[in-house]
Structure 1
């Protein structure tokens, strides 16, 4: 039964037998896990007709891809579970693998997989990733078009991706501040005044994270000058500021003023890698 005393929580895994009974997998040897993504409060609520899960693949080497961990990518997530006997198990979740199970069927057939557990930090990551699906900002079309400008063999967005990729494990967000132009379609010749904050993990990353952020800042400044010229003469995007910022110094007021830039349109290493911290969510 899924009543108020249920032990089910968001992030829990179904056993292979339970997944098979619910038709989520075709055999006990399928190798995938069903991850419960319904909110803790929705699981026992009688007016919720379904329990939502995502079918996830086990990552063989049990290591998270830096660009797919900590809710950086809006479509894919590497989520680490702690094993009861030590070590970890990493699952890859994709929004495209979401399933809805009638709550009555779930209550009758689902059983919890108890050999792993989800830490508080990992559960925050899961929540942030789920929220990011619908909370991503939309930038003005004119601004997006100007970021698609080709400089050499690649456009600016692709070059931003290449700058970020080597440093992704230390970064938690790339935040764009367009000020009063945040929702404005600028006319030809009217530049967007842009400020960029490169947020890095100050606690876990330490000095190495700051060095990574500073490297990204230097390269972004060079890229924007190459693509659009110095701020005082730019007619498309004027990069007024670009600074490294420790995540411990970003306030709620800061997050309400800026928007996170997500590179979800780009293809790196054969798949999409994009974004960092979910829009409007403080660093965990």
Structure 2
């Protein structure tokens, strides 16, 4: 078993040799995959936890902004610093989670000390892992109305994804506030009142991020008003506000009131790829 003094931490990367020794990748695999520890730091040395949880990720050439900041509940792009060499970018999928007996892990696992996962990336990893089981379910009636077909036989949610795609690099999150209707299944003819907040990265993105978020907020309002009508003249969804807010201005009180709308996919082709998955309630 791993002792209390174990150097292993959540987010650590195994060497390619030890990943092969643990049969987590094929015997000829050298650079195609990266194996990341996802067990909580406290679970790694705990005697009641017999396994170490890992995810076998795919090494890719370029990070997709739409798959950063835990925007997508099923896929995540992580960037590992690699000394003076180019960064290592790994795509994680929940379906590639595996367990390794701690006794075997202690014998074979070796940490890749040449790589480093920054503090920001570690926080994103934790958020992404938590979101899988902590996502809220929006009312079925609300989700059905977001699937309303509008122009060119596209749904409202498809249009939302389409306008978010080019500005994904600037956005931290998209929040929906349904107020007291948050868990209500409203009858036909009774509209949901929604307020939307686009949170942008004010530190890294600066003025360009603010401008992109404000422009997108105006486009979102237009989508809702064109699809459902203006407040006071709709029976489906009434958009009361839609604003861009800097990530430094969001308070804990704000986060406890709203739900994050994570999109199942942001890169869309000519055909719809499936339904959106709204997940990731911010814990109180």
Give TM-score scaled by structure 1 length.
0.93
Contact 1:202 1:247 (C-alpha < 8 Å) held by counterparts: yes
Contact 1:264 1:274 (C-alpha < 8 Å) held by counterparts: yes
Bigger mean CA deviation after superposition, 270-279 or 122-131: 270-279
How far apart, CA to CA, are the structure 2 residues paired with 1:45 and 1:272? 40
Contact 2:190 2:235 (C-alpha < 8 Å) held by counterparts: yes
Secondary structure class of the residue paired with 1:87 = strand
How far apart, CA to CA, are the structure 2 residues paired with 1:108 and 1:198? 47
Give the C-alpha shift of residue 199 in structure 1: 0.9
How far apart, CA to CA, are the structure 2 residues paired with 1:95 and 1:103? 21
Q: Which residue of 2 aligns with 1:241?
A: 241
Bigger mean CA deviation after superposition, 125-134 or 26-35: 26-35
Contact 1:67 1:274 (C-alpha < 8 Å) held by counterparts: no
How far apart, CA to CA, are the structure 2 residues paired with 1:274 and 1:204? 28
- Say if 2:144 is the partner of 1:145: yes
Contact 1:172 1:276 (C-alpha < 8 Å) held by counterparts: no
Give the C-alpha shift of residue 179 in structure 1: 0.5
Q: How does 1:1-284 map to 2 (within 5 A)?
A: 2-30=2-30, 31-60=32-61, 63-153=62-152, 154-264=154-264, 268-269=268-269, 278-280=280-282
Contact 1:71 1:277 (C-alpha < 8 Å) held by counterparts: no
Contact 2:79 2:90 (C-alpha < 8 Å) held by counterparts: yes
User: Judging changes above 3 Å, is the alpha-carbon distance between structure 1 residues 66 and 276 closer, same or farther for their aligned structure 2 residues?
Assistant: farther
Bigger mean CA deviation after superposition, 50-59 or 273-282: 273-282
How far apart, CA to CA, are the structure 2 residues paired with 1:276 and 1:199? 16
Contact 2:72 2:265 (C-alpha < 8 Å) held by counterparts: no
Bigger mean CA deviation after superposition, 163-172 or 103-112: 103-112
Bigger mean CA deviation after superposition, 82-91 or 172-181: 82-91
Unaligned segments of structure 2, at least 5 residues:
none
Bigger mean CA deviation after superposition, 223-232 or 29-38: 29-38
Unaligned segments of structure 1, at least 5 residues:
none
Contact 1:128 1:281 (C-alpha < 8 Å) held by counterparts: no
Give TM-score scaled by structure 2 length.
0.93
Give the C-alpha shift of residue 275 in structure 1: 7.9
User: Judging changes above 3 Å, is the alpha-carbon distance between structure 1 residues 127 and 59 closer, same or farther for their aligned structure 2 residues?
Assistant: same
Give the C-alpha shift of residue 129 in structure 1: 1.0
RMSD: 2.1
Contact 2:60 2:90 (C-alpha < 8 Å) held by counterparts: yes
Contact 1:217 1:244 (C-alpha < 8 Å) held by counterparts: yes
